[in-house]
Amino acid sequence: MPQALSVAFITLGCPKNEVDTDRMRASLVGSAFSRCEDPEDADIVVVNTCSFIQDATEESVGTVLEIAAEWLPVHPGRHIIVAGCMPARYGADLTEAMPEVSAFVPVSEEGALLRVLESLTGVVGTKETRTKKPSRTVSGPSAYLQISDGCHRACAYCTIPSIRGPYVSRSLQDVVAETRELVSLGAREIVLIGQDITAYGRDLDSDETLAHVVRAVCAVSGVDWVRLMYVQPDGVTDDLLMAMAENANVCRYLDIPLQHASRPVLRAMNRSGDSDAFLRLLEHVRAILPDVVLRTTLIAGFPGETAGDIRELKRFLSDALFDYVGVFVYSPEDGTPAAALPAQVPLRTRRARAQGLRDLADAIGFDRAAGRVGQTVEVLVEGVDPDDGVVVGRWRGQAPEIDGLVLLDGGTPGTIVSARIVDSLGYDLEGESVA
């Protein structure tokens, strides 16, 4: 019997892409294609691309071309498949630009990966089986759970609606079923994601909201932590905050992407709010969730932004006291209204403003991290750092991959331990296990 053709995946971009990749990987379970961890050893490499901004597109293109230059000459006759946001955004233009690629699979067609593989290789991939195929394959103590896709907003700078389409909520039944599946695979933390999870239910023929999702996921046996990511400010309702306050397994953590604090800039972005409204919101959130950890995202250098707007944004940051802030340099993306606006800010100025915001945010964030010293917190042990052998994990105030780690003196991966924080190293914390 011939050996099964192996498929390796490379994922670029956000957690939503990680979920998409995992679903494609799951579609191969029980097929004639095997999964391969190392692209060097694979017969087929699938690159799940990001194309949200120009830098992400360039990284995606560079990754594909690097594989083509280094891998294809060594493995003639093998295939590169480009999936995800880049083919969704650029479509047929890529066929001529990247002749090394055997197939392009946009986001909306990723569920048909198995058929694409069959077409490319001539191998009949589907096997007869009575076993229900999994929808996810991840293993480990933390897992992303996408509760919606697409976006209904029209932010002037954003390409997401054109890439991922209109807002679509998953049914609450599907969300709960996938939660149970992820727990069965070893997940103890469920991270709820979507372009805007606060809009959950707007397209459903029911009164279900994100608060219903939180309560339902929290009720699944085996879920120790539930984390909310990408919560738009106008969707932070009292019902949502009470759902978080009432359930002990919800992490007191909110990622609220504000993008700016100057009213004129926000209106030019086609967004609501301003520094005063945001400060009132944060005060309200902290009143209901006194120990909440807050993250936001900002854009520096939007068209028309002035030095005065940046000063207002810095004053806002000093008053808001976020634990974590992600700062992006504005990128004029083809097809977005913002790219056609007058008063485009020079790239050098955009970068300088972004760095100034990062420096301020880091000073505040490092100070807030240092304030954790002496506290005893729950830590989800994730593994051992291969470089120095230190056991690493995260406390409830750290989201996967972006907010730093807790360095521990011991612990078994997949367990939750109590640790006393004894030092801080930027956003990383050092903890000692408490018996």
CATH at 395: 2.40.50.140
pLDDT at 381: 93
Res 132 pLDDT > 80: no
For residue 46, the model assigns a pLDDT of 93
Percent of the chain whose predicted confidence (pLDDT) is above 90? 60
In a domain, 127, yes or no: no
Number of domains in the chain: 3
- Confidence band (pLDDT; 50, 70, 90) for 325? very high
Could you please report the per-residue DSSP string of 167-236? -EEPPHHHHHHHHHHHHHTT-SEEEEE-S-GGGTTTTSSS---HHHHHHHHHTSTT--EEEE----GGG-
301 shares a domain with 175: yes
Q: Is the pLDDT of residue 17 over 90?
A: no
What is the band of 161 on the pLDDT scale with cuts at 50, 70, 90? Answer: confident
Final residue of a domain: which of 121, 155, 174? 121
pTM tops 0.75, yes or no: yes
If asked whether residues 192 and 276 sit together in one domain, one would say yes
pLDDT band (50, 70, 90) for residue 1: very low
Query: Is 212 in the same domain as 315?
Result: yes
Same structural domain, 389 and 350: no
pLDDT > 70 fraction of the chain, expressed in percent and rounded = 98
Range of the domain at 312: 142-370
Residue 396 has pLDDT above 90, yes or no: yes
Query: Distance between CA 373 and CA 362 in Å, rounded?
Result: 17
- CATH number for the domain spanning 292: value is 3.80.30.20
Find the largest Cα–Cα distance for the chain.
71
The domain boundary residue, chosen from 370, 387, 402: 370
Residues 199 and 311 in one domain: yes
Do residues 254 and 217 share a domain? yes
pLDDT category at 384 given cuts 50, 70, 90 is confident
Which of the two residues, 129 and 59, has the higher pLDDT score? Answer: 59
Instruction: Looking at the structure, tell me whether residues 45 and 108 fall in a common domain.
Output: yes
R_g over Cα of the chain = 23
Q: Of 90, 121, 152, at which residue does a domain stop?
A: 121
270 and 361 together in one domain: yes
Q: Is the pLDDT of residue 125 over 80?
A: no
Residues 299, 344 within the same domain: yes
Residues 308 and 234 both lie in one domain: yes
Tell whether 113 and 228 lie within a shared domain.
no
134 in a structural domain: no
